[in-house]
Amino acid sequence: MSDENLARQSELALDRQGDHESLFYEGRWHSSGSLAGRAARFATGLAGLGVRPGDRLLVLMANCPEVLITYSAAWRAGAVVTPLLFLVSEDELRHALADSGAVGVVTTAEFLPKVAGALAGSGAAEVRFVIVPGVTADTPDSAAPGVPVLSFDSVASGDAGPIADRSGTDLAALLYTGGTTGRSKGVPLTHANLFWCGSAVSGTWERAGINSSLLPLPLAHAYGLLIFCSGMHRTAGARTILMRWFDPAGWVRLAAEHHAQSSALVPSMIQMLLSQPLEEADLSALAAVSSGAAPLADEVRREFEARVPSATVYEGYGCTEAATLISANTPGSRRAGSVGRPVSGCSVSIRDDADLAVPAGQDGEICARSPGVMSGYWHAPEPAATVLANGWLHTGDIGHLDADGYLYVVDRKKDLILRGGFNVFPRDVEDVLLAHPAVALAGVVGRPDARLGEEVVAFVSLRPDASATAEELIEHARRHLGSYKYPRQVTIVPAVPLTSVGKLDRKQLRQWIAEESGAGPSLSPTSHTSPTPLVTAAPGPGAGNASGLALAAPLVTAAPFVTAHAALFGARGPRAPSCGARGPRAPFLAPIPLPHAAQWTRLPPCVAAWPRPGRRR
């Protein structure tokens, strides 16, 4: 059996680390031995349902121990896991089911209506069963005609069976990109890809003495695979405190109660934690916070580190196509503002539009090579040929390396705004707007302009109990940005839209602009446009065009996952048309950005205790 077989590696890790309390979840500790035993029995149950090596098993779950049990069991059975973030729409779920050819679904009760809706007339003829932990008398017997709903425990009620013999080149996971550039694409990753991914990150934190972590990010996502695989390479066992859904007050309470040494967050979560009385909690054990999924504003990082002086925030970078891992800041070598150096085994090259390497300090497309890079897209050879041209993974991100090899991500290549011959990176504008004390989230896109080619337009949502006018925000940006960069139009909206994986939804922003320029009514309650002087100066050195194929947005190294804003719903999930899940009412939090904001005229009543679920770290 291959040394890279992930199920075999899980067994070796248990032998090496011994049975220990490894996972705290909702008031109870679970030992590593008990979790492994349940996984071995669940694997037998899957095989009994007809799951064969190479079959795909779709995982759409809230955070719970069963997510990790499902991964381990699927690999024991030789199956391929397809984790899908619970924020996906029915249509996105339907696409993944049909495209992957999944034979079964493992989900949690709150998402069963969404699964049933996706199966209805979906063409996902391969799906033969749906498995749900905690089946009750109210749980439907079937998700669709001929597709029974089975209890997780009943499937795992048999004896442990052997590990299927799978090699490092066999598929272990089929992930789906966020779909920011069109229909999401399947990213097949092998046992060898994920084995390398786990080995590349585990040693650093163990050597730094980090042995306990508070985890609010979603396990049913690429991030969960990274966490699971990194644990296989540890010498000694570690402890994880798992949150089903993120909520700021709960995070602070658990971090203090369990003396958590680390946590993986996304920038919006860190921003939300700043509204908590951090100084009143004993967070002295917290040494490391991994941030990813989106750029972290420097002001937010500085404030968090000042208020939790024991903690250092480490940003990193990766993408699904590279098994979530390209670069990372690490203890003793952090460089603020960067996403760290390439991890061991990974090479990074900054390349121009002719696919030639550029010198240090010069912006270009970030390209990577590593044992974690996919071999191609699932059922999509043409885009894969472009993305993997000349032996490099072309990430679609713009950035540069400094003289010491630290990587800096500037923006997405496809998001570049060309205004009057000058390149404007939306992130530069967004960072300035986020520095305004009233702004919670900002999104910047280009609007077609007859004179300039494109004009810079911003959409912002405000913090709770904060106020600002569009005119004030334009003036704030004008004072901090060059004359060609600052937005001439700012629109204040209740919620800046996010994609299903918590990334800024620029497609939706562009759609709003298109609707506003047409016959449709304005979506904006507060909007202001300032005069637009014609820029006639020529572009400076290094200015390039914005052509090129963009990849799915990068994920975090230690936090690829989804933003808290996109997950601020009650424990049963958003009461959205595509979900159908009923959730308990949770206390009202505040008008912060929510996913698919155009669907809401106000916050749903269940906003608060985030059904938990990042990109750049």
H or E, element range at 251: helix 248-257
Strand ranges, E, within 413-452:
417-419, 422-424, 439-449
Helix (H) or strand (E) holding 428: helix 426-434
511 in any annotated domain: yes
The total number of structural domains in the chain stands at: 2
Alpha carbon distance 337, 287 (integer Å): 19
Sequence-ordered alpha helix ranges (H) in 49-172: 65-76, 90-100, 112-119, 152-155
Q: What is the pLDDT of residue 369?
A: 97
Q: Are the CB atoms for 211 and 258 separated by under 8 Å?
A: no
In angstroms, the CA 194 to CA 173 distance is 9
Distance CA 573, CA 570 (A): 6
Say if 600 falls within a structural domain: no
pLDDT number for residue 502: 66
Please report the pLDDT score of residue 599 as a whole number. Answer: 27
Among 477, 507, 529, identify where a domain stops.
529
Q: At what angle do helices 32-48 and 65-76 cross, to 10 degrees?
A: 50
Distances (CA, A) of 89 to 86, 124, 219, 381, 452: 8, 16, 18, 26, 37
Smallest Cα–Cα separation from 23: which of 207, 244, 171, 264?
A: 244
With respect to residue 186, please indicate whether it lies within any of the assigned structural domains.
yes
Residue that is last in its domain, among 160, 191, 222: 191
With H, G, I as helix, E, B as strand and everything else as coil, classify residue 279: helix
Could you state, in chain order, the average pLDDT of each consecutive group of 10 residues for the chain (617 residues)?
91 96 97 98 98 98 97 98 89 92 97 95 85 94 95 96 95 83 84 95 87 95 89 94 95 98 90 93 97 83 97 95 95 95 97 96 97 95 92 94 96 84 85 94 91 91 93 95 90 88 83 74 48 28 26 25 29 28 26 28 26 30
**At 327, which amino acid appears?**
S
How far is 119 from 278, CA to CA, in rounded Å? 45
What pTM does this model have?
0.76
The number of angstroms, rounded, from the C-alpha of 578 to the middle of its chain's C-alpha atoms is 20
Residue 37's domain is classified under what CATH number? Answer: 3.40.50.980
DSSP-derived 3-state class of residue 435: coil
pLDDT for the residue 531? 39
Specify the 3-state DSSP secondary structure of 125: coil
**Segment holding 528, helix H or strand E:** strand 526-529
CATH classification at residue 456: 3.30.300.30
Instruction: Give the model's pLDDT for residue 560.
Output: 28
Strand intervals (E) in 70-211: 80-83, 104-107, 129-132, 142-144, 147-151, 171-176, 186-190
| Residue 138 within any structural domain of the chain | yes
DSSP label at residue 594? -
The answer to the question of residue 170 being in a domain is: yes
Domain of 449, in residue numbers: 417-529
338 and 329 Cβ atoms separated by less than 8 Å: yes
Domain assignment of residue 38, yes or no: yes
Q: Is residue 454 in a domain?
A: yes
| Phi then psi dihedrals of residue 449, to 5 deg | -140, 130
pLDDT at 179: 52
| CA atoms 445, 508, 439, 519: torsion sign | positive
Within 8 A by CB and 6+ apart from 90, the residues are 114, 117, 118, 578, 579
Residue 189's contacts (CB-CB under 8 Å, 6 or more residues apart) are: 171, 172, 173, 174, 175, 225, 323, 372, 374
Contact 614, 292 (CB under 8 A): yes
pLDDT of residue 224: 86
Give the residue from 75, 57, 112, 67 showing the smallest Cα distance to 90.
Answer: 112
Domain membership of residue 488 (yes or no) is yes
Residue 606 φ/ψ, nearest 5 degrees = -90, 10
Q: Return the exposure string of 484-505: e unless at least 16 CB atoms fall within 10 Å of the residue's CB, then b.
A: bbbbbbbbbbbbbbbbbbbbbb
Q: What pLDDT is attached to residue 546?
A: 25
Q: Please state, as a whole number, how many other Cβ atoms lie within 10 Å of the Cβ of residue 506.
A: 21
227 close to 200: Cβ distance less than 8 angstroms:
no
Q: Which of 591, 88, 511, 557 is nearest to 344 (CA)?
A: 557
Final residue belonging to a domain, choices 529, 550, 568:
529
User: Distance between CA 370 and CA 201 in Å, rounded?
Assistant: 14
